[in-house]
Amino acid sequence: MALDPSNPLAVPSTLPFGLVDFAAIRDEHYQPAIEAGMAEELAALTAIAADLAPPGLANVIEAWEHAGELLARSLGAFYARQPADTNEVLDAAEAAIALAVAAHVDAIYLDRRLYDRVVALNVRVQANEVALDAAAAYWLKRKLEAFERAGVNLPADQQVSLRALNARIAELQSAFGRVALAGMNAAAVLVTEVTELDGLSPAQLEAAAELAAERGQEGWLIEITNTSGQPALDELSNRGLRERIYRAAIGRGLGGEHDTSAIVVELARLRAERASLLGFPSPADYVAAEGCAGSAAAVWELLTKLVAPAVRNARAEGAELGEVWARLAPGETFEAWDWQYVSERLRAERYALDSAALRPYLELERVLHEGVFAAATGLYGVTFTERPELRGHTGEARVFEVAEADGRPIGLFVADFHTRSSKQGGAWMNDLVAQNHLLGQRPVVTNDANLVKPPAGQPTLMSWDDVITLFHEFGHALHGLLSDTRYPSQSGTETPRDFVEYPSQVNEMWALDPTLLANYAVHYDTGEPMPAEWIQTLRGSTLFGQGYKTTEYLGAALLDHLWHATPLAELPTGADEVEAFEASALAKVGLDFDLVAPRYRSAYFRHVFEGDYEAAYYSYLWSEVMDADTGAFMLANGGLTRENGERFRRRLLARGGSIDSMEAYRDYRGADPDIVHLLRRRGLED
């Protein structure tokens, strides 16, 4: 399939670092470029399979890595743009692309001739006829595993069934994302009486009014975010409105126009069927076998061992909040929609600090430059220069050039910070260009967030959770920017899912570095630094609410696990069984605590029913075991220093997926991670 040469994606961009020329790309350019890229890659791989020369490094591994440059460029551009600013054209393209990519992956990894060619190379390596360095040897090992996990050794009739399953699963995942986004937008709560909005700042009120006007409504519109808990519940004193927002949030996808229940059930059942076809007891076993966890049993053990202490702490927190509530509203029963509001009142009472008081000191530009970027400079020596003449993947995206301490260029960081109705919820990182030496490419990475956009001319004020998210996602960005690998397929975050969150979680720790805090926590209007006692309180209050946070996380992680570990015969068969399955799953593990909802309920759990965290939401906790251990190690060795940064960069970040992840961890840390640091951080020690 020839691609029109006028398509901006047809050839590598001439912009700095190969940044995709988004200004020249129209919506209709993406799909044909991706389709042409798939055809081009298949042709190149077919040539590798048909090559009669003895298999070696150049004509198998490096030839494979050269294949698919057009596809990588086009997919990278599309999946940066579409989740951040979609429309009907891009939604339709995404639905078609999801099916085409699923078929494309099957065409590669179910190709017996191509598999035999890789096997033949492995035979030559084992016979010492071909010498491979460590990265190439690891490439070969992982490629063989990928073929075998994909089903290349299945009989022909079972491969036909597998292709059909993969196609339908891809179709359903795409549909879930579209319906969930529409449902999140539709769940926004309209307020027509300003008195109900007591607790919000003037800027927040103005932003809510502007949002309502944008959607053709009169009044103030409170957006619903990805998670069960909602930021507005921290501050709104009107209990009736809090209940409306809470119920709108947790009721998404369970009935009505944007019901995702049927998709959830069909996906869970098809994934179970596929895992069985591939020889695994469940999707959870299939996923864990490829990660650091190694088995679904290991995942289950980690998650469930934390349930009892987490719920115990959450119930104790709930009892204390109930006492505060009894003082605030005598005779009123304490409910789930009261938790965040009362928690903030208790935080203010106990620490003289609450989220509303913090916001004026957490202004985006200051946090970004004096916090997030400054931490990277302190650790790795890298610097950031904004390039306003370059356009990112959305009209609001900003582009920064990243350089070494001596001025040598590294790559580009592209950031789109604010929410919009065309943007999926949450925050994430993407690669536009993957660092690699084989093709001579420097990294171009993106971060997207969903900060509420302030009225024109006003600063973006953040919550403390927003600050942590900014540091977290930039940790992913650093993983891509500081990659130092030969092959594109091993660059940056191309690691097991239960390892990829580890470097990003490590980066969160620098948000509390005292020197950084003193520089970035400055009042946006007066220029006054955050009071020293507030900073001390902020650092000392890290255990506050950990019972709630751990319990809501475990609720989501165990829902994901049980949707993907439950035998097919025991899974729901109809949409009307989803809520009962959830309730049973949570009760089974002791998480049936009505005051704390799972961070995501099934009907809006986009990580696992749209994205690639299927049976892998546990990975945040698995990674945090390593993160907490690393944090303790770094703090014991001086904290935010170039020495600590260089060790972490060279022994871990730079290696990407060119080495077994746990081997890289042990090389960096000198030992396996000790879970005691995680238990201590979350207040779960006995």
Give tens-digit pLDDT for 229-248: 999 999 999 999 999 999 99
All residues at 6 or more sequence positions from 448 whose CB lies less than 8 Å from its CB, including other chains: 83, 84, 415, 416, 417, 423, 427, 428, 429, 430, 473
All residues at 6 or more sequence positions from 567 whose CB lies less than 8 Å from its CB, including other chains: 272, 281, 282
Say if residue 368 is in the same domain as residue 495.
yes
Burial letters for 394-405: b for 16+ Cβ neighbours within 10 Å, e otherwise? beebbbbbbeee
Closest CA to 296 of 567, 10, 588: 567
**Residue 180 banded pLDDT, cuts 50, 70, 90:** very high
Rounded CA-CA distance 221/188 in Å is 6
Phi, psi angles (nearest 5°) of residue 155: -60, 160
Rounded CA-CA distance 571/161 in Å is 21
Verify whether residue 365 is a known catalytic residue: no
Rounded CA-CA distance 375/377 in Å is 5
Say if residue 318 is in the same domain as residue 300.
yes
Say if residue 191 is in the same domain as residue 233.
yes
Rounded CA-CA distance 353/533 in Å is 10
In the predicted model, what is the mean pLDDT of residues 417-444? 96
In a domain, 619, yes or no: no
At 230, which helix (H) or strand (E)? none
Say if residue 380 is in the same domain as residue 307.
no
Upper half-sphere CA count for residue 414 (Cβ side, 13 Å): 28
3-state SS assignment for residue 386: strand
Measured from the Cβ of residue 508, the count of other Cβ atoms closer than 10 Å reads 20
Rounded CA-CA distance 154/277 in Å is 9
Which among 203, 235, 250 is the end of a domain? 250
> By the 8 A CB rule, do 237 and 489 touch?
no
Q: How do beta strands 409-418 and 444-451 pair?
A: parallel
In a domain, 275, yes or no: no
All residues at 6 or more sequence positions from 537 whose CB lies less than 8 Å from its CB, including other chains: 351, 352, 353
pLDDT higher than 90, residue 540: no
All residues at 6 or more sequence positions from 196 whose CB lies less than 8 Å from its CB, including other chains: 236, 238, 240, 241
Rounded CA-CA distance 517/212 in Å is 35
State how far the alpha carbon of 634 is from the alpha carbons of 249, 379, 540, in Å. 39, 11, 19
CATH, residue 428? 1.10.1370.40
> By the 8 A CB rule, do 546 and 679 touch?
no
Say if residue 582 is in the same domain as residue 525.
no
Closest CA to 227 of 50, 433, 463, 514: 463
Q: What is the pLDDT of residues 291-318, one digit of tens each?
A: 999 999 999 999 999 999 999 999 999 9
Q: What is the pLDDT of residues 246-265, one digit of tens each?
A: 999 999 999 999 999 999 99
Say if residue 550 is in the same domain as residue 532.
no
In a domain, 440, yes or no: yes
Q: What is the pTM of this model?
A: 0.94
Q: What is the pLDDT of residues 626-637, one digit of tens each?
A: 999 999 999 999
pLDDT higher than 90, residue 611: no
Q: How do beta strands 398-403 and 383-386 pair?
A: antiparallel
The one-character DSSP state at 432 is: E
Q: What DSSP string runs through 232-289?
A: GGGT---HHHHHHHHHHHHTTTSSSTT--HHHHHHHHHHHHHHHHHTT-SSHHHHHHH
Measured from the Cβ of residue 212, the count of other Cβ atoms closer than 10 Å reads 19
Rounded CA-CA distance 84/395 in Å is 10
Residues forming a β-bridge with 429: 447
> By the 8 A CB rule, do 42 and 50 touch?
no
End-to-end CA distance of the chain: 63
Say if residue 554 is in the same domain as residue 572.
yes
What HEC string does 586-611 produce? Answer: HHHCCCCCCCCCCCCCHHHCHHHHCC
Domains in the chain, number: 4
**Residue 1 banded pLDDT, cuts 50, 70, 90:** low
Structure-token pair, residue 508 = 């969160």
Q: What is the pLDDT of residues 98-123, one digit of tens each?
A: 999 999 999 999 999 999 999 999 99
The larger pLDDT score, comparing residue 90 to residue 533, is at 90
In a domain, 364, yes or no: yes
> By the 8 A CB rule, do 459 and 206 touch?
no
Rounded CA-CA distance 145/657 in Å is 14
Could you identify the residue written with the tokens 């596809």?
71
- Which amino acid would we find at residue 49? A
Q: What is the pLDDT of residues 360-397, one digit of tens each?
A: 999 999 999 999 999 999 999 999 999 999 999 999 99
Say if residue 365 is in the same domain as residue 331.
no
The one-character DSSP state at 54 is: P
**Residue 222 banded pLDDT, cuts 50, 70, 90:** very high
Say if residue 557 is in the same domain as residue 533.
no
- Catalytic one of 41, 94, 317, 473: 473
Say if residue 48 is in the same domain as residue 92.
yes
Q: How do beta strands 428-433 and 409-418 pair?
A: unpaired
All residues at 6 or more sequence positions from 673 whose CB lies less than 8 Å from its CB, including other chains: 625, 626, 628, 629, 630, 665
Structure-token pair, residue 159 = 């491969």
Q: What DSSP string runs through 504-546?
A: HHHHHGGGG-HHHHHHH-B-TTT-PBPPHHHHHHHHHTTTTTH
In a domain, 8, yes or no: no
Say if residue 428 is in the same domain as residue 344.
no
Q: What is the pLDDT of residues 453-490, one digit of tens each?
A: 999 899 999 999 999 999 999 999 999 999 999 999 99
What was the pLDDT predicted at 405?
A: 97
Number of residues in the chain:
686
In a domain, 285, yes or no: yes
Phi, psi angles (nearest 5°) of residue 544: -65, 125
What was the pLDDT predicted at 213?
A: 94
Could you identify the residue written with the tokens 């759990």?
605
What was the pLDDT predicted at 388?
A: 98
3-state SS assignment for residue 231: helix
Which among 150, 177, 206 is the end of a domain? 150
Upper half-sphere CA count for residue 416 (Cβ side, 13 Å): 27
Structural domain harbouring 483: 360-540
In a domain, 204, yes or no: yes
In the predicted model, what is the mean pLDDT of residues 537-562? 94
What was the pLDDT predicted at 354?
A: 80
Q: What is the pLDDT of residues 342-361, one digit of tens each?
A: 999 999 888 888 888 899 99
Measured from the Cβ of residue 493, the count of other Cβ atoms closer than 10 Å reads 23
Rounded CA-CA distance 401/406 in Å is 14
- Is 27 exposed, middle or buried, given 0-12, 13-18 or 19+ CB atoms closer than 10 A? middle
At 148, which helix (H) or strand (E)? helix 134-150
What was the pLDDT predicted at 566?
A: 98
Of all residues in the chain, the percent with pLDDT exceeding 90 is 95
3-state SS assignment for residue 398: strand
In a domain, 639, yes or no: no
Structure-token pair, residue 658 = 């060119």
Could you identify the residue written with the tokens 């009894």?
326
Across the chain, what does the average pLDDT equal?
96
Say if residue 366 is in the same domain as residue 341.
no
> By the 8 A CB rule, do 20 and 26 touch?
no
CATH, residue 38? 1.20.1050
Q: What is the pLDDT of residues 26-60, one digit of tens each?
A: 999 999 999 999 999 999 999 999 999 999 999 99
Q: What is the pLDDT of residues 506-537, one digit of tens each?
A: 999 999 999 999 999 999 999 999 998 888 88
3-state SS assignment for residue 306: helix
